[in-house]
Homo-oligomer: A and B are copies of this chain.
Amino acid sequence: MKMLINVPETVVTDALRGMAVAHPELTVDVEGRVVVRRDAPVAGKVGLVSGGGSGHEPLHAGFVGAGMLDAACPGEVFTSPVPDQMVRAAAAVDSGKGVLFIVKNYTGDVLNFNMAAELAEDEGIRIASVLVNDDVAVTDSLYTAGRRGTGATLFVEKIAGAAAEEGAPLERVEALARRVNESSRSFGVALAACTTPAKGSPTFDLPAGELELGVGIHGEPGRERRAMMTSGEIADYAVDAVLSDLRPTGPVLALVNGAGGTPLLELYGFTAEVHRVLRERGVPVARTLVGNYVTSLDMAGASVTLCQVDEELLRLWDAPVETAGLRWGR
């Protein structure tokens, strides 16, 4: 498997060097592996910190900036960052109003963010944590006890980030983040596995002519394999999996997310089918975001994340955001 890299060992630091030169609005500690808003700590503002294994870009470092995260800690590819990174990030963004850790539910991430919270509190930084566990595909998984955290992470980071930007206190930012997670569910499918630089070959074996329904963002197994389905059939399956668990009673945000290797042309076609299913099920869609946001290197496939929103969550979703990966001004 050919890759646009130097050597597998420097993939993450090489990418951080690239972020540093491309985004002067960020402070990138390449060796320490922390990406921080250049204007951090922002006076009077709760700090938002997230992180996780690399390979899901633009998540998380691509979501650092005004209106979203204050800092991100990238681990090695598909490997949790270490507590030192998280403590350094917390110290860099704490203005005295406290820091929220946004943690995807993977065993390593949870352990390390917990340890980092204790260490940061020892240093006098007030820490709250919210766990993201939106993936309805399976109950337990490789690397995970309970549900996996996937696409809802973007909704949590954006909406909690908007509240923090407005000056909301830590308790409120935390409560909002928790509410967004509880209001969100995801389901993903893989048409082809991804390849990590260290391994150099596909992370799992998917026979020609089959797809994995309910795949995780590291290629973890899902619910079942089936013979290849059409975009419309996949939308039926994925949206119904989400709806049967979420049971929304009002409008939703919809994220139609690419796994990385699926062309945007296909993602937009899939979006049409996702909307068709939601229309048939009587679920109104308030906003739709289409693109590669929570990726799995070069995996082919897509996921659907829905988040039920009220007026407050929708207003915070619409609030301005200025990051490398997500940006709008309305």
Contact = CB atoms under 8 A, between A and B. Distances in A.
Interface of A: 2-7, 10-12, 14-23, 54-55, 57-58, 62, 77, 191-192, 208-209, 211, 228, 230-232, 234, 256, 260-273, 275, 285, 288-290, 292, 295, 297-298, 300-302, 320, 322, 324, 327-329
Contact of A260 (B14, B263, B273): B263
Contacts of A292: 264, 292
Given A6-B232, A320-B329, A15 B268 contact: yes
Contacts of A302: 4
Contacts of A7: 230
Given A209-B2, A329-B329, A265 B57 contact: yes
A296 B191 CA distance: 19
Count chain B CB atoms within 10 A of each CB in A231, A263, A292, A324 and give the residue with the most. Answer: A263
Given A4-B301, A298-B300, A267 B327 contact: no
Contact of A268 (B19, B271, B297): B19
Given A18-B272, A22-B271, A191 B2 contact: yes
A208 B201 CA distance: 13
Given A18-B272, A21-B272, A21-B288, A2 B211 contact: yes
B268 A22 contact: yes
Contacts of A191: 2-4
Given A4-B270, A298-B300, A329-B328, A265 B11 contact: yes
A302 B7 CA distance: 17
13 contacts: A2-B211, A2-B228, A6-B273, A15-B272, A18-B269, A18-B275, A18-B290, A261-B261, A263-B298, A292-B292, A322-B328, A327-B327, A327-B329
Nearest to A20: B272
Nearest first, the 9 closest Cβ-Cβ pairs linking A and B are: A329-B329, A14-B269, A18-B268, A18-B271, A17-B272, A15-B268, A57-B264, A18-B272, A22-B288
Contacts of A231: 4-6, 14
Given A16-B268, A21-B275, A263-B298, 4 more contacts: A15-B268, A18-B290, A260-B263, A322-B329
